[in-house]
Amino acid sequence: YEKIQHLKKLNRIYTWGEDIPNPFIDFSELKLPEVLIKNLTTFQIKEPTPIQMQSIPILLAKRDLLACAPTGSGKTLAFILPVVLNYLKLKKSFQRRLFAIVLEPTRVLARQTYMNFVKTCHNLPITCAFLDDNRFPEKANIIISSPKRLIFSWNQPDFDKTRLKSLRWLIVDESDRLFDHSDSSGQNFKDQLDAIIHECNGKFLKLAFFSATFSYELEDWCKNKLNDLATICIGSRNS
Ligand code: ADP
Ligand code: MG
């Protein structure tokens, strides 16, 4: 216990919530498939960053998460790895089915995150798609999109809403921007989020919010809507 406290203090990992799983230190602890280790090595990933140390065990334990860590601290991989690992474990029942949606505030960020998924999943049996001007992809396991694009695509007459029922993960990246900023239709986003949760309505759906700054509004929303929430802040709460 003291060792864990020391590790968290050293890496400035602060957590709130019941039964928070311990952070890990070395990628070998995750028992990653060979291909995945190789993919990480090709883009110089050797050790986890503090947000990855703590968020990956929480998401692997299938907990709802509110995570806050500075820009450039590796938040993308902090959700890509657990989602991919979780998918690989369940893939027999998820082939051609939708497993996760990742929301980004802009199309540019959505494309970047999509590229990160593609690199990480190279040679793995998992299909990722960037929702652009195309229709909702038929067979994708993971879809990366802006909320606007997502809602637009599933409002098309030929969209089969039962596709959403298999969804296990909804990741909201840069969630402070989606919640707080009036210019990017913050009010709208909460409605969109409610609509997504309503459509997916699966008891297995888990939500994870990532952002660079802590938002009390978002925390309130999470506390109201989610049970058994885990919260992480790296550094200070108002960095
Ligand atoms: P954030 O979303 O927190 O702003 P990113 O996920 O975009 O940060 O990561 C920033 C950079 O750090 C990227 O170039 C990414 O490849 C790199 N990175 C992520 N995790 C690690 C790691 N464990 N070791 C080394 N570099 C990493
Ligand atoms: Mg980011």
The 10s digit of each residue's pLDDT in 103-134 is 999 999 999 999 999 999 999 999 999 998 77
Residue nearest ligand 1's atom 5 by CA = 74
Beta carbons of 110 and 130 less than 8 angstroms apart:
yes
| Cβ of 71 less than 6 Å from ligand 1 | yes
Interface TM-score (ipTM) > 0.95: yes
Q: Residue 105 gets which letter from DSSP?
A: S
Whether ligand 1 lies within 6 angstroms of the CB of 177 is answered as no
pLDDT tens for 141-188 read 999 999 888 888 888 888 888 888 899 999 999 998 888 655 455 557
pTM confidence score? 0.95
Strands 169-172 and 206-211: parallel
Which residue, among 104, 111, 90, 115, has the nearest Cα to 166 in the 3D structure? 90
CA pair distance 53, 117, nearest whole angstrom: 19
Report the distance separating Cα 77 and Cα 98, nearest Å. 20
Q: Is the C-beta atom of 75 inside 6 A of ligand 1?
A: yes
**Cα diameter, the chain:** 57
Rounded to whole angstroms, the Cα distance separating 30 from 91 reads: 18
DSSP secondary-structure letter at 28? G
* Cα–Cα dist 129/195, whole Å: 21
Asked if residues 86 and 128 have their Cβ atoms less than 8 Å apart, the reply is no
Question: Which residues, 6+ apart, have CB-to-CB distance to 116 below 8 Å?
Answer: 76, 77, 80
